[in-house]
């Protein structure tokens, strides 16, 4: 789901163009504009308000916050959340490990290297996550049927270990690649890496030291951005984990709901949604402020 | 990627300096390829192997202990009966939702771009960035709680009596718009910003009214980016699974739901190879979407200076 749809508002490109407003507005377009904004506002806020009312309004007892107090006691939530967070941390780590050397190399390398890497990182966009899941599913089934008497059996079991399913980690990193690459790459493009590296090396730093202590600190903003987007992706991921039979956060919400915990799961989902949005919003706002502060007056 | 382009770094001033640069850039190119290698290996293993297994499985039969044989039967089956229904349902839903979101997103973006309030623009852009990344389970739950059978609005306004149900085609369209409209706003705002004020003034000076300006100046300039946006939205809606799956009881046939059913063994044991064939169908459509989107995006970038 996050594949093609993942375009976080990029404050740098949009801020550049600024506003092309028209001064002499007549009242008719202004009225139309107000109507459009009002309808959009209602549409986008309605479901949030609706689900909040749904969680606090008990048909018998009236207003109650019990759905929210139950969040702390409902069974299965913490293990599910733990699994999701663990996977998120591992995914972010692996994404950085793979992509940071790549974006530096791409920035320094030939255009040809860039187009190869861009192509590879965009590949997951043409395979929807459910199609990827079906491929993983058939591989695991084939492994179960054929590897029982081979040394690979333990490997097969290990990557499916339900306390830390490596197979999910692999899938998530693949799914995070397109967005993470674009984010890190655009952060990298804003840096004059060659000059930074040459300056560091003229001052006697080795190449690795120059990258770790000079380039990476300058890439902090983009890394934070990519990390948060990956976190949001992993916390909300449902397709791969539900079909492969694991129970991270999003799967727990759906299962709990069909088990009859309606208001509680809706409360959990609302809380998770608001928290994710808050993180992404802070990111987007602080990103906008940084770039406008960096602009010469 | 086996050759190194020597002309690129040689443009630097000073022959000694440029030779040193050339040498260091040769070394960098070699280092670059090593730095990229882990990524390439990872993608080959974690993405390439499942993708190939999926494509291979789509063309073969599989049963434990029996020899596999090549067959076109899976693909034929995936384009027949209930499976074809699901594919058509997905295409219809995605196209409808994407078309509505394209129009609505354009209107909203135009309202924001022409607004005098800078804060509004920032708020809408930030919110769009967040919402466009948001699909899946919480979105479905928010709509079920609001407009589902026991939803807040449904019960208070007695919508069920009026014929409303969230679990229908139009119900799903309504839910999908929630992440498609923001995506459209994000993809069309740069093009709207690219519409110069001078063009409108020039059109007005030549006697064009507002409709004529839009019909002959603005829309032709915007068309590539609108089409590109539509295609992007289509692909995004087409691949969505979690939202529909979490709205338990939705009666709309969708290819993603069919694949999941088949993989979970809810249909029949040998349906899993048909699931692989359906996955391949999805990949083919996604490739077509990309093949349309990329040139359109490049075309629309032409007006953005």
Interface membership of B165 toward A (CB under 8 Å): no
Cβ pair B43:A258 closer than 8 A: no
Q: What pLDDT shows up at residue B304? A: 59
Do B31 and B129 lie in one domain? The reply is no
Q: Is residue B289 part of a domain?
A: yes
Whether B216 contacts B108, CB under 8 Å: no
Q: Please give the structure tokens belonging to residue B39.
A: 């990524």
Residues B111 and B35 in one domain: no
Same domain for B164 and B46: no
Assign domain A76-286 one CATH number from 3.60.21.10, 1.10.3720.10, 1.10.490.130, 3.40.190.80: 1.10.3720.10
**DSSP-assigned states of every residue in A235-269:** HH--HHHHHHT---HHHHHHHHHHTT-HHHHHHHH
Query: Which residues of B fall within a CB distance of 8 Å from A271?
Result: none
User: Containing H/E element for A58?
Assistant: strand A57-58
Contact assessment for residue A238 and residue B136, using Cβ atoms and an 8 Å cutoff: yes
Chain B partners within 8 Å of A20 (Cβ): 113-114, 192-193, 195-197
Beta partners for A63? A57
Residue A297 pLDDT > 50, yes or no? no
CB nearest to A266's CB, from B141, B178, B197: B141
Q: How far apart are CA A7 and CA A225, in angstroms?
A: 12
User: For position A291, what pLDDT does the model report?
Assistant: 46
- Closest CA of chain A from B190, distance in Å: 6
CB contact under 8 A, A277 and B134: yes
- Over 50: is that where the pLDDT of A50 sits? yes
Same domain, B149 and B244: yes
* B268 in the same domain as B197: yes
Residue range of the domain that includes B21: 9-58
* CB atoms A22 and B114 under 8 Å: yes
Per domain, the residue ranges of chain A are: 76-286
At A292 the pLDDT is 41
Instruction: Tell me how close the Cα of B299 comes to any Cα of chain A, in angstroms.
Output: 17
Of B45, B65, B113, the CB nearest to A19: B113
Q: Are residues B42 and B175 in the same domain?
A: no
Domains of chain B: total: 2
Q: Tell me which residues of chain B have a pLDDT lower than 50.
A: 1-13, 305
CA A269/CA A277 separation, integer angstroms: 12
pLDDT tens-digit readout, A91-145: 999 999 999 989 988 888 778 888 889 889 888 888 999 999 999 988 888 888 7
Q: In the 3-class helix/strand/coil scheme, how is chain B assigned residue by residue?
A: CCCCCCCCHHHCCCHHHHHHHHHHHHHHHHHHHHHHHHHHHHHHHHHHHHHHHHHHHHCECCCCCCCCCECCHHHHHHCCHHHHHHHHHHHHHHHHHHHHHHHHHHHHHHHHHCCCCHHHHHHHHHHHHHHHCCCHHHHHHHHHHHHCCCCHHHHHHCCCCCCCCCCCHHHHHHHHHHHHHHHHHHHHHHHHHHCCHHHHHHHHHCCCCHHHHHHHHHHHHHHHHHHHHHHHHHHHHHHCCHHHHHCCCCCCCCHHHHHHHHHCCCCCCCHHHHHHHHHHHHHHHHHHHHHHHHHHHHHHHHHCC
The sign of the torsion formed by the CA atoms of B212, B217, B220, B224 equals negative
B243 and B174 in one domain?
yes
pTM to 2 decimals? Answer: 0.81
ipTM over 0.90? The verdict is no
- Closest residue to A284, CB basis, from B129, B142, B177: B129
Nearest CB partner across the interface for A50, out of B121, B152, B236:
B152
Tell me, yes or no, whether B53 and B78 share the same domain.
no
pLDDT of A21 > 60? The answer is no
Residue B97 lies in a domain: yes
Task: Quote the mean pLDDT of chain B.
Answer: 80
CATH of the domain at B190: 1.10.3720.10
Residue B180 C-beta-side C-alpha neighbours within 13 Å: 31
Establish if B3 belongs to a structural domain: no
Structure-token pair, residue A169 = 């980690």
Do B109 and B140 belong to one domain? yes
pLDDT at A10: 45
Q: Are residues B50 and B188 in the same domain?
A: no
Distance CA B193, CA A210 (A): 39
Per the prediction, chain A carries an average pLDDT of 79
Q: Both B22 and B80 in a single domain? A: no
Residues B39 and B96 in one domain: no
Of A3, A98, A236, the CB nearest to B39: A98
Residue B65 lies in a domain: no
Chosen from B98, B141, B156, B192 to mutate, greatest number of chain A CBs within 10 A: B141
**How many other C-beta atoms are found inside a 10 Å radius of the C-beta of residue B155?**
15
Residue A14 has pLDDT above 50, yes or no: no
**Mean pLDDT, rounded, for A135-163:** 80
Q: Looking at the predicted structure, is the pLDDT value of residue A11 above 50?
A: no
Q: Do A20 and B142 touch (CB under 8 A)?
A: no
As beta bridge partners, residue A57 has A63
Percentage of chain A lying above the pLDDT 70 cut: 82
Interface touch A130/B181, C-beta < 8 Å:
no
Q: In chain A, which ranges are continuous DSSP H helix? A: 2-5, 11-17, 27-56, 66-69, 77-108, 111-122, 129-146, 152-159, 166-189, 193-202, 207-210, 216-218, 220-236, 239-244, 249-258, 262-294
According to DSSP, the residues that pair with B70 across neighbouring strands are B60
- Between A251 and A288, residue with greater pLDDT: A251
Closest chain B C-alpha to A215 CA, distance in angstroms:
15
> What does the pLDDT look like over B43-95, one tens digit per residue?
999 999 999 988 888 888 776 666 677 777 787 877 888 888 888 989 999 99
Set of chain A residues whose Cβ sits within 8 Å of the Cβ of B138 = 236, 253, 269-270, 272-273
A195 chain-B contacts, CB cut-off 8 A: none
Token couple for A171: 């899938």
Torsion of CA A184, A189, A194, A197, to 10 degrees: -40
What is the average per-residue pLDDT within A201-208?
A: 82
Dihedral through CA A219, CA A221, CA A225, CA A228, nearest 10?
100
Task: Tell whether B69 is covered by a domain.
Answer: no
Looking at the complex, does the CB of residue B100 fall below 8 Å from at least one CB of chain A? no
């Amino acid at each position: 789901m996050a594949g093609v749809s993942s375009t976080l508002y990029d404050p740098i490109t949009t801020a550049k163009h600024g506003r092309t407003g028209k001064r002499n507005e007549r009242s008719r377009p202004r009225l139309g504009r107000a109507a459009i904004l009002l309808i959009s506002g209602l549409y986008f806020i309605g479901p949030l308000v609706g689900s909040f009312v749904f969680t606090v309004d008990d048909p018998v007892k009236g207003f109650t916050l019990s759905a929210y107090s139950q969040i702390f006691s409902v069974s299965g939530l913490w293990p599910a959340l733990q699994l999701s967070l663990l996977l998120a941390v591992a995914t972010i780590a692996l994404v950085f490990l793979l992509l940071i050397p790549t974006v530096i190399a791409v920035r320094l390398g030939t255009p040809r290297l860039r187009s190869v890497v861009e192509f590879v990182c965009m590949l997951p966009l043409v395979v929807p996550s459910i199609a990827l899941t079906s491929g993983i599913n058939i591989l695991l089934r084939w492994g179960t049927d054929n590897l029982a008497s081979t040394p690979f059996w333990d490997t097969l079991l290990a990557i499916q270990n339900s306390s830390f399913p490596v197979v999910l980690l692999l899938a998530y990193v693949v799914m995070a690649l397109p967005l993470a690459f674009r984010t890190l790459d655009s952060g990298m493009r804003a840096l004059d890496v060659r000059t930074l590296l040459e300056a560091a090396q003229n001052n006697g730093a080795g190449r690795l030291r120059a990258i770790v202590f000079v380039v990476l600190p300058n890439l902090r903003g983009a890394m934070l951005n990519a990390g948060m987007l990956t976190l949001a992706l992993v916390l909300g991921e449902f397709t791969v984990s539900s079909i492969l039979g694991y129970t991270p956060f999003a799967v727990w919400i759906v299962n709990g709901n069909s088990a009859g915990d309606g208001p509680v799961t809706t409360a959990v989902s609302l809380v998770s949604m608001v928290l994710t949005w808050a993180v992404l919003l802070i990111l987007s706002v602080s990103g906008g402020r940084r770039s406008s502060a960096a602009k010469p007056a | 990627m086996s050759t190194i382009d020597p002309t690129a770094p040689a443009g630097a001033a000073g022959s000694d300096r440029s030779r040193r640069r050339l040498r260091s850039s040769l070394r960098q190119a070699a280092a670059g390829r090593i730095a990229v290698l882990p990524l390439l290996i990872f993608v080959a293993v974690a993405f390439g192997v499942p993708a190939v297994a999926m494509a291979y499985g789509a063309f073969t039969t599989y049963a434990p202990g029996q020899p596999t044989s090549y067959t076109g039967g899976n693909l034929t089956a995936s384009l027949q009966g209930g499976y074809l229904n699901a594919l058509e349902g997905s295409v219809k839903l995605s196209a409808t939702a994407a078309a509505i979101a394209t129009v609505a997103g354009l209107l909203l973006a135009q309202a924001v771009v022409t607004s005098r309030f800078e804060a509004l623009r920032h708020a809408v852009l930030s919110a769009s960035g967040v919402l466009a990344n948001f699909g899946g389970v919480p979105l479905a739950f928010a709509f079920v709680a609001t407009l589902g059978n026991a939803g807040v609005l449904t019960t208070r306004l007695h919508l069920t009596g009026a014929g409303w149900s969230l679990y229908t085609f139009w119900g799903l369209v309504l839910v999908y718009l929630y992440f498609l409209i923001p995506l459209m706003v994000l993809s069309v705002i740069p093009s709207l910003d690219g519409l110069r004020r001078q063009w409108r003034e020039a059109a007005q000076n030549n006697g064009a009214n507002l409709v004529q300006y839009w019909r002959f100046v603005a829309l032709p300039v915007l068309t590539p980016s609108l089409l590109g946006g539509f295609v992007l939205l289509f692909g995004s809606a087409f691949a969505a699974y979690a939202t529909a799956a979490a709205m338990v009881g939705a009666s709309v046939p969708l290819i993603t739901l069919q694949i999941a059913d088949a993989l979970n063994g809810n249909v029949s044991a040998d349906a899993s190879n048909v699931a692989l064939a359906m996955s391949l169908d999805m990949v083919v459509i996604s490739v077509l979407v990309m093949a349309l989107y990329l040139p359109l995006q490049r075309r629309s970038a032409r007006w953005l200076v």
